[in-house]
């Protein structure tokens, strides 16, 4: 493959200047500088995820600024552009969408006390470690987690940060996303019901509800971009029904709808979670969500492993989304989410790697493969095909995040795509169906990733950041955190 180096060197001057947070809230970057073009050509196979789910041979894309202008066989695309990517020998797919994560947890992988516990015991063991998190730790761990996602095919991610000790802020995660170049849905999580009031988290890590709402409003006003192709959106996201009050859930929904931003939380993760809901609220988790106004196209819930038939019908009727996290569900022995039934009913389902403390290997393609395998364990060999799994991780994720500008390669969509080298050992012997092979063989790394029209991974290496020093710093901080607990 070749790349037009001269064009790439020109690119930075033509990149639109990054608006500072304060500027951004006053002026949304609606006007693009026209002109910078990118031609992607000769991909062996290009998966569009368009309305007809076309898979094109010897195909490519023509991109202007941050959006796709044309998709088709190479012969039908313009012959040149400012930047040219010749992707002969590659499979190109829409960038994968990760709908659930807790990136700070990449500091606390494989902690011995939390290796063999189910959800509530796992959380109880980890809260005391996380109580020592610092702003630097949040920023560095977010960079590391995003690097892992980017290198494994993800171009858009949400992150659910719900613990803010020692002056940590969501701004620390946002700074990391802007530095590394990932499309980001930053979820302002929160916990307000500590052990003293019958909740699960220690009292030292919960916040006052008034403070939570004030800070969430500040974040929306400072950062949230509701425009098409937005690189940054803010989400209102109390941690879970067992760590915040009914009032905060209600107030959060009101605040989110006042600003037109999405809502996110954990729901019906395992049987204990359901038992807590019945005992404390006298309702199933889905009934509780309904009662609080936590259903609709602007809401998505993580896990829903134990969502019952009435809950599935409710979610389908209201367009409420689910972030399916198969590795985490297996790691914590939570069960098998009824994804097939959800999708048949019409529930929007996306994929999530979940936090790195409950899915210690947060790789996106590996998660796609695991989604397929786990549905088959639960519901038989025809429960999910490779193409179903890929659709969940692209279009499904976009729908769950309430976006129609990502998840497919078609004119008018954001220029977010990734390329896998079909000459790598993972694909050997499977080239009769490279698309299925992507899911069944699960190569661990992309060779290219383009987000918002910019090359973020080139030849298998991050192009926006030198990763070695970040990982070194990450490991030093992880050690400090572990020692402090």
Contacting positions for Zn ion (CB under 5 A): 354
CA distances from 135 to 41, 101, 170, 175 (A): 42, 18, 9, 11
Cβ closest to Zn ion, residue 91 vs residue 129:
129
Could you tell me if 173 and 159 are in contact, meaning their C-beta atoms sit under 8 angstroms apart?
yes
> Are 427 and 104 contacting, i.e. CB atoms less than 8 angstroms apart?
no
Cβ proximity to Zn ion, 209 vs 354, nearer residue: 354
Query: Which of 207, 354 has the CB closer to Zn ion?
Result: 354
Instruction: Report long-range pairs for 281-285 (Cβ below 8 Å, ≥24 apart).
Output: 281/241, 281/246, 284/308, 284/310, 284/311, 285/241, 285/311
Among residues 64 and 354, whose Cβ is nearest to Zn ion? 354
Residue closer to Zn ion (CB basis): 94 or 241: 241
CB of 162 to Zn ion, least distance (A): 9
Q: Which of 435, 465, 367 is nearest to 94 (CA)?
A: 435
Question: Of the candidates 143, 100, 108, which has an alpha carbon nearest to the alpha carbon of residue 125?
Answer: 108
Per DSSP, the residues of 166-180 read GG--HHHHHHHHHHH
Spatial distance between the Cα atoms of 46 and 93, rounded to a whole number of angstroms: 6
CB 321 within 8 Å of CB 347? yes
The smaller minimum CB distance to Zn ion, of residues 356 and 447, is found at: 356
> Please, what is the minimum distance in Å from the beta carbon of residue 102 to Zn ion?
6
CB of 31 to Zn ion, least distance (A): 38
Smallest distance from Zn ion to CB 359, Å: 9
For Zn ion, the closer CB: 325 or 409: 325
Rounded to whole angstroms, how far apart are CA atoms 275 and 339? 22
- Residue 396 · residue 340 · CB < 8 Å: no
What minimum distance in Å lies between the beta carbon of 367 and Zn ion?
13
Q: Which is nearer to Zn ion, 354 or 405 (CB)?
A: 354
CB of 240 to Zn ion, least distance (A): 8
Go through the chain and tell me how many residues it has.
485
Give the residue at shortest CB distance from Zn ion: 354
* Closest separation in Å from C-beta 419 to Zn ion: 30
What distance in Å separates the CA atoms of residue 90 and residue 92, rounded to the nearest whole number?
A: 6
Supply the minimum distance, in Å, between the C-beta of residue 126 and Zn ion: 12
Q: What DSSP string runs through 253-321?
A: HHHHHHHT--EEEEE--SHHHHHHHHHHHSS-HHHHHHHHT--STTEEEEE-TT--HHHHHHHHHHT-E
């Amino acid at each position: 493959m070749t790349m037009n180096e001269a064009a790439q060197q020109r690119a930075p001057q033509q990149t639109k200047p990054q608006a500072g947070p304060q500027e951004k809230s006053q002026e949304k970057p609606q006007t693009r500088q026209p002109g910078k073009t990118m031609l992607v050509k000769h991909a062996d196979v290009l998966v569009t995820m368009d309305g007809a789910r076309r898979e094109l041979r010897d195909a490519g894309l023509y991109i202007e600024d941050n959006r796709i202008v044309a998709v088709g066989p190479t012969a039908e695309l313009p012959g040149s552009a400012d930047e040219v990517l010749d992707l002969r020998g590659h499979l190109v797919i829409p960038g994968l969408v990760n709908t659930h994560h807790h990136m700070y947890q990449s500091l606390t992988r494989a902690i011995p006390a939390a290796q063999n516990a189910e959800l509530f015991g796992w959380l109880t063991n980890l809260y005391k470690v996380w109580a020592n998190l610092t702003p630097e730790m949040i920023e560095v761990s977010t960079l590391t987690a995003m690097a892992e996602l980017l290198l494994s095919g993800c171009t858009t991610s949400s992150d659910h940060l719900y613990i803010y000790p020692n002056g940590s802020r969501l701004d620390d995660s946002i700074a990391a996303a802007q530095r590394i170049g990932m499309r980001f849905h930053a979820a302002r999580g929160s916990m307000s019901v500590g052990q003293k009031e019958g909740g699960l988290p220690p009292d030292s890590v919960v916040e006052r509800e008034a403070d939570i709402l004030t800070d969430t409003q500040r974040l929306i006003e400072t950062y949230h971009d509701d425009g098409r192709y937005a690189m940054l959106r803010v989400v209102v996201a109390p941690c879970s029904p067992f760590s915040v009050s009914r009032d905060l859930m209600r107030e959060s929904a009101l605040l989110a709808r006042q600003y037109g931003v999405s809502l996110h939380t954990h729901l019906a993760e395992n049987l204990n979670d359901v038992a807590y809901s019945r005992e404390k609220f006298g309702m199933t988790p889905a009934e509780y969500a309904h009662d609080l106004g936590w259903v609709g196209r602007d809401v998505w819930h993580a896990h829903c492993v134990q969502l019952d038939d009435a809950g599935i019908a409710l979610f389908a009727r209201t367009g409420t989304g689910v972030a399916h996290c198969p590795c985490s569900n297996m790691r914590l022995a939570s069960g098998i989410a009824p994804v097939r039934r959800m999708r048949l009913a019409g529930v929007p389902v996306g994929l999530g790697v979940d936090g790195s403390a409950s899915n210690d290997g947060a790789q996106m393609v590996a998660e796609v493969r695991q989604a397929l395998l786990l549905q088959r364990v639960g519901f038989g060999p025809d429960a999910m095909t490779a193409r179903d799994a890929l659709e969940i991780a692209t279009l499904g994720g976009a729908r769950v995040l309430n976006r129609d500008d990502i998840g497919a390669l078609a004119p008018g969509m954001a220029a977010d795509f990734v390329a896998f080298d079909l000459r790598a050992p993972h694909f050997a012997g499977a080239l009769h169906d490279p698309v299925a092979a992507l899911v069944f063989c699960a190569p661990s790394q992309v060779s290219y990733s383009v987000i918002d029209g910019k090359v973020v991974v080139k030849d298998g290496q991050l192009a926006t950041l030198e990763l070695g020093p970040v990982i070194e710093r990450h490991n030093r901080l992880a050690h400090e955190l572990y020692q402090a607990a």
